[in-house]
Amino acid sequence: MHQQWEYKTLEPPKGLTKRETVDPTDELNRLGEEGWELTATISYDGGGTKLLLFKRPVTHE
């Protein structure tokens, strides 16, 4: 059987002005503990990161 994956996206948290990104280290560490791996970032034309894309193997329990 081939490896199956599940995917998750996360929008980086914004600061008070809604323009700057707040450091997402705590959230990234939490997702890493749950088995999620950051695989890509999705940006928009105006600059900045719009979404973080994660994946992890599907477990059949």
pTM over 0.85: no
For 26-39, b where at least 16 C-beta lie within 10 A, e where not — what string? eebeebeeeebeee
CA atoms of 7 and 5, how far apart (whole Å): 7
pLDDT at 61: 67
The pLDDT assigned to 38 comes to 95
- Tell me the per-residue pLDDT of 6-61, one tens digit each, with 9 for 90 and over: 999 998 777 666 566 678 888 999 999 999 999 998 887 776 668 899 999 998 76
Q: Which residues contact 10 (CB under 8 A, 6 or more apart)?
A: 24, 27, 31, 51, 52, 54
